[in-house]
Chain A
């Protein structure tokens, strides 16, 4: 298997961004998302683009790797942008008109900025949450950030455990699926011809054994976990405790500064730049 789910798209490295606490990264990504949706001034977009570029350089993840990750999404980005061109109606004179289709200058700018927004957002979230963070760090980070919700009796620990086990079993179940498929093929099952309904029906002999075995696995895993004294999150310690370091403080300050900067630019640089 070429794609290792337990590591996701993790790109091994020792950069500053790799070493940040996952909670800091989560907070930063949330702040970045807010910033990008709040941004109106063209200067704010310039600032955000520079930030993305700098973080990519800092992380030492090759730009080619990041671009490759974007490739499958380019169609969606383009589609959204093009739709935006036709949808925007403005007061100014149209640039081009054909029957019911009219294109305005604003429409083009809107589409361009929307595409930029989506691309910046995708690059920054994948860079912080998957290229430089392993899924296990991410799960730990989420568990720790959501910990206050335990006060209102939300099962935060159970949720994190669920995510860990799901990650753990994806490769196992993938293997199992291909085994079952081969077994059914060996008995003459045909998965690749016929119409949609016929193909969907052909999947039933795969799904049912897969479900049966998953339940059996779940049962055995539960017994094994009980044998290892698992009793939920209470009284449980962790081998690797998340610890904030000095660099994390800078991370938070940077996150806040970024959002503040974008808001200030919206207010004070509005008359100098294009606003949407």
Chain B
């Protein structure tokens, strides 16, 4: 697997924090995201996870360190504008508030916005828009007004708007944070489908543990640096360490951890679905 996004010892400080001592939003962060991978980035508020995302498609440029997208260095300050847009075309980004990323008054016009900016010929835009709306399951809403849709539907339209640019990678910057549970589920299913069926690399920035569980790799950030990294199983089986980063652990792990301590059991920690979890606890208690 080749790496699609690579951060090497990246540091970043927001300009208006100059007077504050040691207020690095990112501090010597190194990160490797492989092609086709689904990576979840977890972290407490202010841990630098959104800043890291903004560096990946050149909304921000790092103060020091190097960033590569598809092998190309993008931390160079003197890049041509056309190259910047080439990077942004390949690394799409979906934000938190669906209302603030929809531009047009009709769903299909909004999805067409990205390809229109790229100068794609009209017939091909039409095709891409239909495909993108189909992938997110919003085809029957093509002629609707966005403000009449639910939060989850709006967010899916925003995702379609990114897919229509045919990116290699999509970053979701807390894209489910403002949605109700149903909308969150809709969007997560769409994200999974994009990763599995469309082979798009996914970077999911979130603070919902049950979303991070679905990833191939979990990166936990704390105070602007990488704090933990591994498969969901590896990361979530160390609840004490996660608590120190100000994060919760999935409920099943919290339960097993508590049982192990209180009853001196030895159930292995890991990410389980509900039935496996119940089975493990039952067996352990019977013993």
Contact = CB atoms under 8 A, between A and B. Distances in A.
A221 B113 CA distance: 13
**Chain A CB within 10 Å, residue with most, of B92, B105, B117, B146:** B105
Given A6-B145, A217-B99, A228-B161, A223 B117 contact: no
Given A6-B145, A228-B162, A238-B122, A135 B105 contact: yes
Interface in A207-253: 217, 220-221, 223-231, 235-241
Contact of B97 (A220, A228, A241): A220
Contacts of B125: 237-239
Interface string B73-99: 000000001000100110011010101
Given A228-B162, A237-B121, A238-B122, A7 B99 contact: no
B126 interface: yes
Contact of B106 (A136, A217, A229): A136
Contacts of A175: 147
A240 B119 CA distance: 13
Given A240-B109, A240-B122, A241-B122, 18 more contacts: A135-B105, A164-B104, A165-B103, A167-B105, A168-B102, A168-B104, A171-B147, A220-B95, A220-B101, A223-B95, A227-B88, A228-B92, A228-B113, A228-B114, A228-B161, A229-B118, A230-B117, A231-B85
A274 to B, nearest CB: 47
Interface residues of A, number: 31
A262 B112 CA distance: 44
B57 interface: yes
Contact of A217 (B85, B93, B100, B147): B100
Interface of B: 57, 59, 81, 85, 88-89, 92-93, 95, 97, 99-106, 108-109, 112-122, 125-126, 129, 145-148, 161-162, 165
A271 interface: no
A220 B100 contact: yes
A194 B61 CA distance: 54
A4 interface: yes
Contact of B105 (A164, A227, A241): A164
Interface in A177-231: 217, 220-221, 223-231
Given A220-B97, A226-B88, A237 B104 contact: no
29 contacts: A164-B105, A168-B146, A217-B100, A220-B95, A220-B97, A220-B100, A220-B101, A223-B95, A224-B101, A224-B103, A225-B103, A227-B57, A227-B92, A228-B117, A228-B165, A229-B88, A229-B114, A229-B118, A230-B113, A230-B117, A231-B117, A236-B119, A237-B116, A237-B120, A237-B125, A239-B125, A239-B126, A239-B129, A240-B109
Contacts, number: 103
Nearest to B106: A136
A115 to B, nearest CB: 35
Contacts of B129: 239
A172 interface: yes
Interface of A: 4, 6-7, 135-136, 164-165, 167-168, 171-172, 175, 217, 220-221, 223-231, 235-241
A136 B105 contact: yes
A37 B92 CA distance: 53
Contacts of B105: 6, 135-136, 164, 167-168
A135 B105 CA distance: 9
Given A172-B99, A217-B100, A223 B59 contact: yes
Contact of B59 (A165, A227, A240): A227
Contacts of A167: 105
Contacts of A217: 97, 99-100
A212 to B, nearest CB: 14
Contacts of A224: 93, 95, 100-101, 103
A236 B116 contact: yes
Contact of A231 (B59, B81, B147): B81
**Chain B CB within 10 Å, residue with most, of A135, A223, A227:** A227
Contact of B117 (A6, A172, A229): A229
Contacts of A241: 122
